[in-house]
Amino acid sequence: MAERVVSAAEPTALERGRPRQIVLACLLMVASGFAGLAYQVVWTQQSTSWLGHESAAVLAVVAAFFGGLALGALTLGSRIDRSARPARWYAGCEIVIGAWSLTLAALLEPASSALLGLIGPQPSATWHWFVAFFGTALLLLPATVSMGATLPAMERVFATTSARNISISALYAANTAGAVVGVIAAAFWLVPQLGLAHSSLACAVLNFVCAAVALSLQTNGDSATPAPGSGILRGPNHTLLLLAATGLLGIGYEVLVVRALSQVAENTVYTFALLLAVYLIGTALGAAAYSRWRASKPMRSGEISSDRLLTPLIQVLAATCLLGTLLLAGADEIKNSFIGAFGPSVASALAGEVAMAIIAFLLPTLVMGALFSHLSTEARDGGISFGHAIGVNTVGAAIAPLLFGLVLLPVLGLKPALLLISVGYLLLVARPAWSKPAQWLVIGVTAASVIWSPSLHNTHIPRGGRLVSYSEGVMASVTVIEDKSGVATLHINNRQQEGSSATLLADARQALLPVLLHPNSKRALFLGLGTGLTASSATLQPSLQVDVVELVPEVIDAAQHFESSYPEAADRSRLHTMSADARRFVRTSEQQYDVIVADNFHPARSGSASLYTVEHFEAVRQRLAEGGVFCQWLPLHQLDVDTLRSIVRSFLAVYPNASAVLATLSLDTPTIGLIARRDGERFSLEQVSAQLSAANSYDVEGFGFPDDLALLGSFFAGPHSLTTFAGAAPLNTDDRPIVAYRAPTITYSPVSTPRERLLELLGDVEINPEEILAGELNLEWSNRLEAYWTARDRFIEAGRDVRPTSDVRDMLAQVREPLLEVLHISPGFRPAYDPLVRMAAALAGKDSAAARSLLSELQQVQPDRPEAAQLLNAIDSQAQ
């Protein structure tokens, strides 16, 4: 057979295969980037479950991740450069990543226990960061080192093949684009649907596929000898310095902007995924734009000096970071405009958060992607290997979380630290640029911004109010704001979620209810401090020692402004406050407690959902002494019913005999509690009565507990009913954090009101005295308790449609008959009796006949109460 003749004009088979190889390489980089960022999401969530949610731990995990990448690029890059088969190196790295992610599944539990033991319940910030960084770095090292070598390996594959014209920037853009998809997929699908472990498994499979495909990239050119000087630093060290500095400043900018936006965004798992995605999108687009520009302008050696492009890139980056910093002041208005334009919905809320990320990140990251691509290309052209270049850049990135997040932010404050980023970039430009107007223009605007630019505090002070205190912490900004009536509120990241000086009754009940249910409590633990009103109220109980764990140190300082609102009889000498992560403290402390009370943490906020997992509830059980009581409060006004079902089922998995209580009868901020004893025993009526008798020393009646009927009347669901309510709802576990991904839905777009959810809950559950009380019960008393529960539910239902008004006649017309009906059901139901007496008193001066009529009916319904008779006598005396 005659050989086929190929003309000079016809492409060779090698040339025809070149586009396919380039596309295949980019797809591999996309897949590799997808897996890498999905792993980062998974490993960060897994790490915080044992390291804690303090910023030191979270930033240490990020730094450890970058540190491993840097080590891989620096140590393996030179070996890959000398290898004649870099595709095998790439495949080997992907295999190691996948294999180690599977190995971590077995190592996670013993390793986390060891790290917990090293950190302890209350570590110093330095020791905590040290263990978190090095512990995480060692645990992830095989995988992160291999990840750091994948991009240099792929670059080397095409430096030795017929497709060598593919640029560094194109590979980097593809890898970063994959990372964008990985972040979004992990947050919106992988973790919610599969859980953390199975998400890692899916990524491991992807790693193995990448390894198999990479081996097909080997061509005849794959065995070519590396170019002389490859990997040898013939160029100046100035390029390496720029790579390290830009890595440091770029990630520093990301850390600070995320911190700034936490004051206006919802701070859910979706918030941080979207912020990171926008950051990566900008970087990918910048690298892609540089790649296209570079391909359209082929340069001969010496044709264009590096500084002619490098200096403008750095100056533009400094200017865009400055612009992003200035625009952050309007982030709140941008978010609200989206919600206002499209109406409250999940889509509009997420779009608002994306818009905030775009104004802060898009322009700077576009330039960051182009600048990194340019520096890496110049380094390669100067004899510096790509592995060495990316490794040095990532070393800077690894330092950034510590420097900017833990050092500069608390020392300088948010705005000065962000402006320092722009200054840092300006200091990197070549000396001749300092004689140009552009350089001094950016410097002048930056300097002016220090004085005249808006604050980034985003603190909303009501008209007539004042700012009592402001503290910029590593984790959050904490403010105390007082309105014109003198009511002080505590805000974390610009949100009132921690109570006020006017909520003593509700806050005290959350402490006293579980304390009074214990027969003889000597030591109590409160998870969460807030204003301190709840924990301080527990000290009303004689001889009770109260420990409080608070995650945010600045909250402990801010709570001092609320001490004047504490109960007068509170004994602060028995209140011991500690700054620590609640989960880690519970797992590492050796102290046993008679009562543990967990605050009603907002379930959608980042990190809070881990306090509602099966593993955490089990750890709390281990901290309870024999017969101990645990009460987990839940904010129904921040929870949808489906998420509540998951939390209830998770609680029942550890405390199968748990019951549910209402903290107050509030319709707008209903707070429910899941309560149980360590041993599963029911409560004793005799012991409850004895506790209430002893509590008369501090006027427990003033907190709504005049007798055992009122205290036990707080229960609204027993174990059987809760089990039916929870049904087959998915458990909220460390591996599958259902609550973290479900709870944000109602935060972004409330589909029902809190009162509607409360009424739905009460309609779905039931209770009987035998479920919560031990021993043989008096039939008459049991009937009274059941009547009390019926009256309570009817009282709440009656309040659903009441229109608040200052007109006593209008209010009485709305509530008179429903409240009297409630009293006919249960004459001892004080929440219905007391407001009618108050309205009669207000009506007495305007319409004494109507007041007498109401008071006479109250006397008939509840003859044992003296208030109606006393007021009626007073009205009659005035009439005479």
Provide the CB-side half-sphere exposure for 121 (13 A, CA). 14
- The amino acid sitting at 710 is A
CA 614 from chain center: how many Å?
A: 18
Provide the CB-side half-sphere exposure for 402 (13 A, CA). 19
Q: What is the pLDDT of residues 719-742, one digit of tens each?
A: 999 999 999 999 999 999 999 999
Q: Is residue 147 in a domain?
A: yes
What pLDDT does residue 339 have? 79
* Same-domain pairing of 275 and 334: yes
Q: Is residue 486 in a domain?
A: no
pLDDT confidence of 18, banded at 50, 70, 90? low
Q: Give how many domains the chain has, as a whole number.
A: 3
Angle at 30 between CA 25 and CA 32, to 5 degrees: 90
Residue ending a domain, choose from 394, 419, 452: 452
* Same-domain pairing of 523 and 661: yes
What pLDDT does residue 621 have? 97
Count other Cβ atoms within 10 Å, centred on residue 225: 9
Please name the helix (run of DSSP H) or strand (run of DSSP E) that holds residue 717, with its range, or none.
Answer: strand 715-717
Helix, strand, or coil here: 575? strand
* Same-domain pairing of 769 and 823: no
CATH number at residue 293: 1.20.1250.20
What pLDDT does residue 190 have? 93
Q: Which residues pair with 574 in a beta bridge?
A: none
Decide the pairing of beta strands 659-662 and 715-717: antiparallel
CA distance 708 to 57: 45
What pLDDT does residue 236 have? 52
* Same-domain pairing of 840 and 729: no
Minimal CA–CA distance to 382: which of 306, 433, 307? 306
Mean pLDDT for all residues in the chain: 87
What pLDDT does residue 467 have? 92
Q: Is residue 458 in a domain?
A: no
CA distance 374 to 812: 75
Minimal CA–CA distance to 488: which of 508, 466, 505? 466
What pLDDT does residue 438 have? 77
What pLDDT does residue 120 have? 86
Mean pLDDT for the stretch of residues 85-99: 92
- The amino acid sitting at 679 is D
CA distance 354 to 282: 13
CA distance 307 to 351: 39
* Same-domain pairing of 79 and 43: yes
* Same-domain pairing of 753 and 807: no
Quick one: CA dihedral 316, 319, 325, 327, positive or negative?
negative
* Same-domain pairing of 259 and 305: yes
Structure-model confidence comparison of residues 663 and 59, the more confident one: 663
* Same-domain pairing of 826 and 700: no
Helix, strand, or coil here: 639? coil
Quick one: CA dihedral 412, 413, 419, 422, positive or negative?
positive
Mean pLDDT for the stretch of residues 307-317: 87
Q: Is residue 726 in a domain?
A: yes
* Same-domain pairing of 769 and 812: no
Residue ending a domain, choose from 452, 474, 490: 452
Q: Is residue 657 in a domain?
A: yes
What pLDDT does residue 168 have? 75
Instruction: Give the lowest-confidence range in 39-48, 150-159, 622-631.
Output: 150-159
What pLDDT does residue 449 have? 78
For the chain, the residue count is 880
Q: Is residue 780 in a domain?
A: no
* Same-domain pairing of 162 and 304: yes
Mean pLDDT for the stretch of residues 833-849: 88
What pLDDT does residue 86 have? 86
CATH number at residue 704: 3.40.50.150
Domain that includes residue 686, residue range: 500-775
Structure-model confidence comparison of residues 495 and 386, the more confident one: 386
Is the Cβ–Cβ distance between 525 and 623 less than 8 Å?
Answer: yes
Q: What is the pLDDT of residues 94-129, one digit of tens each?
A: 999 999 999 988 888 888 888 888 888 888 878 888
* Same-domain pairing of 638 and 712: yes
Tokens of 706: 């005049």
Is the Cβ–Cβ distance between 279 and 329 less than 8 Å?
Answer: no
Mean pLDDT for the stretch of residues 318-339: 88
Mean pLDDT for the stretch of residues 244-269: 92
Decide the pairing of beta strands 545-550 and 523-527: parallel
DSSP 775: S
Minimal CA–CA distance to 787: which of 713, 869, 880? 713
Is the Cβ–Cβ distance between 798 and 819 less than 8 Å?
Answer: yes
Please name the helix (run of DSSP H) or strand (run of DSSP E) that holds residue 450, with its range, or none.
Answer: helix 437-452
Terminal-residue alpha carbon distance, the chain: 132
Q: Is residue 7 in a domain?
A: no
CA distance 42 to 139: 14
Q: How far is CA 557 from CA 342, 355, 480, in A?
A: 40, 34, 10
Q: What is the pLDDT of residues 633-687, one digit of tens each?
A: 999 999 999 999 999 999 999 999 999 999 999 999 999 999 999 999 999 999 9
Decide the pairing of beta strands 624-635 and 523-527: unpaired
Q: What is the pLDDT of residues 259-278, one digit of tens each?
A: 999 888 888 889 999 999 99
The pLDDT > 70 percentage for the chain reads: 92
Residue ending a domain, choose from 417, 432, 452: 452
Is the Cβ–Cβ distance between 190 and 199 less than 8 Å?
Answer: yes
Q: Is residue 6 in a domain?
A: no
Which 3-state string (H, E, C) describes 281-321? HHHHHHHHHHHHHHHHCCCCCCCCCHHHHHHHHHHHHHHHH
CA distance 528 to 596: 11
Q: Is the pLDDT of residue 219 over 80?
A: no
Mean pLDDT for the stretch of residues 464-478: 88
CA distance 262 to 55: 13
* Same-domain pairing of 841 and 742: no
Structure-model confidence comparison of residues 392 and 846, the more confident one: 392
Angle at 566 between CA 560 and CA 569, to 5 degrees: 130
What pLDDT does residue 221 have? 43
